[in-house]
Homo-oligomer: A and B are copies of this chain.
Amino acid sequence: MQPINVAVIGSGFMGAAHVDGLRRVPGVNVAAVSSIDRPRAEELCRNFAIPHLFDDWREILQRPEITAVHNCTPNNLHYEVNRALIEAGKHILSEKPLTLTSQESSDLVRLAREKGVLTAINFNYRGYPLIQHAHGMVSRGELGDLHLVQGHYLQDWLLHDTDYNWRLESGISGESRAIADIGSHWCDLIQFITGRKIERVFAHLYTIHNTRKKPRQEVETYKGKELGAPDQYDEVSIDTEDGGFVLLELSGGLRGSLTVSQVSAGRKNRQWFEIDGSRRAISWNQEEPNSLWIGHRDQPNEILIKDPSLMDANARTYAHYPGGHPEGYPDGPRNLFLNFYRAIRAGSENVPSPLGFPTFEDGHWEVKIVEAVLRSHREQAWVEVEA
């Protein structure tokens, strides 16, 4: 088995996390890193014996030995980079959001299909074993008819007006922040688990801090909390939302509600959902990902622990340790990467089913949802997510 040569574009929080995950995937060789932050990229290459470092990601396009590329650039570069990679015939695993507009994302989907490259988007929370098992439960009908979905995605790393990060800047991050950054994960999970598409939304967004204190030094995502309030800053105005409420209608008439916030003290990364059906309900919280609550009307409720011997055959492939040995955040993307490279290896004639990772089509739909949310907020009316 020849290892597949992979390049990672970006060496920030996400770039390093991708390298970490890739190191754990069988048959993969991290052959190159590209980054505008040379010192961090050099450290990454040194630490993990990565042979090539490119200052300009375009150099990757010229390297035929590189089969697949992870796009960990800032949001505003996603389209350009993804497009160029497709055109160069590379398989791509892109960070989300896929692009800043649905016109762009639609473009990528079409182009990738034409070029026959495999695409993946890092909705990493799908990689948790119990998320896979939840998906299996719904598709086997164990929940019965679905009655409603609900949940929230809450964080506190942007609580204070002294919290700052490039994700606050719409020019880099896009027109939507809380919904696009974290709400999109929740939407993806719900759609994946239920097998339904979000088709209509009613949204009410809010911004707590209309101005924030931008430190004169750059701050990595999530790192501001450790650094504390900056000494030197510029007061800048903020045009993206700190959170929002979204009412949903999914295909088949399923209805739901989502609350998103990046200003909820004490909630670090609480992504929670509940899906209620006629036979059972399920509830899951990302901060304690190794247990799944299963609600019953006529018998005791259940707590399913992530335990290979208790999960279905598909979910079991996402669990690398026995029950009671918690698997965490870094193990999720690793699983998606594993499946992505398995699919690449299988080749277009033997596409595995299920694929085991979200694709650019999923990424495209998310961009459409975010656009619908923004429009609904402006119009204060229900808005269709147009196919």
Nearest B-chain residue to A144, judged by Cβ: B265
Q: What is the distance, in angstroms, from A204's C-beta to the closest C-beta of chain B?
A: 5
Q: B150 touching A152 by the CB < 8 A rule?
A: yes
B-contacting residues, A309-337, CB 8 Å: 309-310, 316, 320-331
**A247-B247, A300-B310, A301-B303 given; A295·B269 CB < 8 A:** no
**A222-B322, A320-B330 given; A305·B301 CB < 8 A:** yes
B-contacting residues, A209-252, CB 8 Å: 222-223, 225-226, 242-243, 245, 247
Instruction: Report if A255 contacts B (CB, 8 A).
Output: yes
B-contacting residues, A257-281, CB 8 Å: 257, 259, 261, 263-270, 274, 276-281
Number of A residues, CB within 8 Å of B: 93
Instruction: Report if A1 contacts B (CB, 8 A).
Output: yes
Bound-complex Cα distance A300 to B291 (A) = 10
Chain B residue numbers with a CB within 8 Å of A140 are none
Q: B270 touching A324 by the CB < 8 A rule?
A: yes
Instruction: Report if A157 contacts B (CB, 8 A).
Output: yes
Q: What is the distance, in angstroms, from A341's C-beta to the closest C-beta of chain B?
A: 11
Bound-complex Cα distance A66 to B266 (A) = 47
Instruction: Report if A63 contacts B (CB, 8 A).
Output: no
Chain B residue numbers with a CB within 8 Å of A307 are 225, 268
Q: B3 touching A49 by the CB < 8 A rule?
A: yes
- Indicate which residue in B256, B259, B327, B328 contacts A148 across the interface (CB closer than 8 Å): B259
Task: Point out residues on A near B: beta carbons under 8 Å.
Answer: 1, 3, 17, 20, 23-24, 26-27, 29, 46-49, 147-148, 150, 152, 154-157, 159-160, 202, 204, 206, 208, 222-223, 225-226, 242-243, 245, 247, 255-257, 259, 261, 263-270, 274, 276-281, 286-290, 293-305, 307-310, 316, 320-331, 380-382
28 pairs from A and B in contact (CB 8 Å cutoff): A3-B49, A23-B23, A150-B245, A150-B259, A156-B295, A157-B322, A159-B297, A160-B297, A202-B204, A202-B247, A225-B297, A225-B298, A226-B308, A226-B316, A257-B259, A261-B276, A265-B278, A287-B326, A289-B326, A298-B310, A301-B303, A302-B302, A320-B330, A321-B330, A327-B330, A328-B330, A330-B330, A380-B381
